[in-house]
Amino acid sequence: MENIALIESFSEFKDDKFIDRVTLMAILEDVFRNALKKKFGSDDNFDIIINPDKGDLEIWRNRIVVEDGEVEEPNEEISLSEAQKIEPDFEVGEDVSEEVKLMELGRRAILALRQNLISKIHEHDNTNIYKQFKDLEGEIYTAEVHHIRHKAIILLDDDGNEIILPKDRQIPSDFFRKGDNVRGIIESVELKGNKPSIIMSRSSPKFLEQLFFQEIPEVFDGLITIKKVVRIPGEKAKVAVDSYDDRIDPVGACVGMKGSRIHGIVRELGNENIDVINWTANPQLLVTRALSPARVSSVKLNDEKMTAQVYLKPEEVSKAIGRGGHNIRLAGHLTGYEIDVFREGVEEDVELTEFSDEIDTWIIEEFKKIGMDTARSVLEQDIADLVKRTDLEEETITEVVRILKAELEE
């Protein structure tokens, strides 16, 4: 009876954890065999019969009958007189099967059995969760905010699985309260110890790409292909699309009438500005399109150094660079070229690097970050605007402007 009572307490895990019958039997047998090894030194001569549905458990030890006084391996051999206590007609050389009661293992061993079973079932659950989410890497997933921490938001899905949305994987404008539903992609899944660590991201370019699959039917159906996605999360993104069907305008299909189709994606990303452009294998044309909304006059490429010299009318330069230099930076990421902007019709201009003896290199680099690498590109801008767009003090910018003007006026 004690065997049955004990197995009933063990098999309660089956209902709690939704473990299938075969798996539970395998886990139970493994746990009991480990206990037998500790108690008897080996489990090779034991048969374990488990029926978790009925709560039945039987353990049988098989030993060979030997003459009295000749028992050398007590776990594998039994003396004739002991065997005949079980069954009077046993003879030397016969096999004896004797049921082992769980209580014979001792109270401490039984407590260890239960603890080991809990551990094994958790391990099984964690392995299944790991496999489940590993298959979902790169896919959009929705979970609910459970706890908000300084460096991460802890989410729970409908099955109670914990998902982590780190601060650096969030869009800067993201603001969530407990109970909010959050969408993102499953970026990575790792086993830390025996517990799966599931990381969600909303800042990954892959998230934007997957939103296109969800929101644009032609992308989902494969009529439009997304060639490349680049993002500055919450600020700006560029998506290059292509279609092998000439009857389909990939950009128009993605954007929709008056932006109707892309509006939901923009809203999901905290009003991120999304440029959708036609992909082309022609690198000059790709650079031209990537700098949209600016109108490019001409492009000179150096494929060896992967640089592009882009010439524009003066009024188009600020569009090409974009607020905070976002547009030119993303165009470079999209095309793979380092893009330098030049103004058409400007006869005299000097590279900022020529002033390195008067202007610190780090200051020149700050201007380059927003696409300004010549004297005139800086002088054409308002000082107050330059203060907003760079990390430079107004006093520093004023001094730079003075130096540049003095050079060009000579």
Domain boundary, last residue among 131, 163, 182: 131
Same domain, 199 and 209: no
For residue 184, is it within any domain? yes
Choose one of 101, 131, 161: the last residue of a domain.
Answer: 131
| Overall size of the chain counted in residues | 410
Task: Name residue, tokens 């992308």.
Answer: 219
Residues 6 and 121 in one domain: yes
> Cα(97)–Cα(79) distance, rounded to whole angstroms?
13
Question: Is residue 199's pLDDT more than 90?
Answer: yes
For residue 195, give the 3-state DSSP assignment.
strand
pLDDT at 3 over 60: no
Q: What is the pLDDT of residue 214?
A: 92
Residue 303 forms part of a structural domain: no
Residue 364 domain-assigned (yes or no) = no
Which has more pLDDT, 382 or 147? Answer: 147
98 in any annotated domain = yes
Summarised one tens digit per residue, pLDDT across range 218-245 is 999 999 999 999 999 999 999 999 998 8
Q: Flag whether 147 is in a domain.
A: yes
Tell whether 77 and 127 lie within a shared domain. yes
Residue 165 inside a domain? The answer is yes
Do both 154 and 226 map to the same domain?
no
Higher pLDDT, 150 or 13: 150
323-347 tens-digit pLDDT: 888 999 999 999 999 988 887 765 5
Nearest to 146 by CA among 138, 137, 154, 134: 154
Same domain, 21 and 41: yes
Three-state DSSP at 287 gives helix
CA proximity to 134, closest of 123, 126, 142, 145: 126
Q: Does residue 150 sit in the same domain as residue 235?
A: no
Q: Is the Cβ–Cβ distance between 301 and 283 less than 8 Å? A: yes
Range of the domain at 169: 136-203
Q: What is the CATH number of the domain that holds 42?
A: 3.30.1480.10
Task: Indicate whether 90 pLDDT > 80.
Answer: yes
Burial (CB count within 10 angstroms: exposed 0-12, middle 13-18, buried 19+), residue 304: exposed
Of the ranges 185-199, 222-236, 361-375, which is most confident? 222-236
- Residue with tokens 């019969």, as numbered in its chain: 49
Domain tally for the chain? Answer: 3
Pairing status of strand 162-166 against strand 140-148: unpaired
- pLDDT over threshold 90, residue 286: yes
The pLDDT tens digits for 57-84 are 778 888 888 888 888 888 888 888 888 8
pLDDT recorded at residue 329: 92
266 Cα distance to chain centroid: 22
Residue 387 lies in a domain: no
- Report CA torsion sign: 246, 252, 254, 257: negative
Tell which of 157, 182, 203 closes a domain.
Answer: 203
Average pLDDT rounded to a whole number, residues 254-262: 89
Q: Do 238 and 290 touch, CB atoms closer than 8 A? A: yes
> Stretch 287-307: mean pLDDT, rounded?
90
Contact call for residues 328 and 291 (beta carbons, < 8 A): yes
Please check whether residue 172 lies inside any domain of the structure.
Answer: yes
On whether both 151 and 231 belong to a single domain, the answer is: no
User: Is residue 29's pLDDT more than 80?
Assistant: no
pLDDT, greater one: 305 or 128 = 305
* pLDDT per position as a tens digit, 383-406: 888 888 888 889 999 998 888 888
Query: Within 13 Å and on the Cβ side, how many CA atoms surround 344?
Result: 11
Q: What is the pLDDT of residue 161?
A: 87
Other Cβ atoms within 10 Å of 351 Cβ, number: 13
**Lowest-pLDDT range of 118-127, 217-226, 244-253, 364-373:** 118-127
Residue 125 shares a structural domain with residue 18: yes
User: Residue 274: what pLDDT?
Assistant: 94
Same-domain pairing of 120 and 223: no
Q: Are 328 and 341 within 8 A, CB to CB?
A: yes
At 48-58, the pLDDT tens digits run 877 655 556 77
Q: At residue 79, what are phi and psi to the nearest 5 degrees?
A: -70, 155
Q: How far apart are CA 162 and CA 126, in angstroms?
A: 11
Same domain, 49 and 166: no
Contact 299, 307 (CB under 8 A): no
**Would you say residue 148 has pLDDT above 50?**
yes
pLDDT confidence of residue 1: 38
Confidence class for position 143, pLDDT limits 50, 70, 90:
very high
DSSP 292-343: TTS---EEEEETTTTEEEEEE-HHHHHHHH-GGGHHHHHHHHHHS-EEEEEE
Using alpha carbons, select from 13, 12, 60 the residue that is nearest to residue 32. 60
Which has the minimum average pLDDT: 2-16, 120-134, 169-183, 373-387? 2-16
- Terminal CA-CA length for the chain: 106
pLDDT value at residue 4: 44
Rounded mean pLDDT, 177-195: 88
Mean pLDDT of the chain: 84
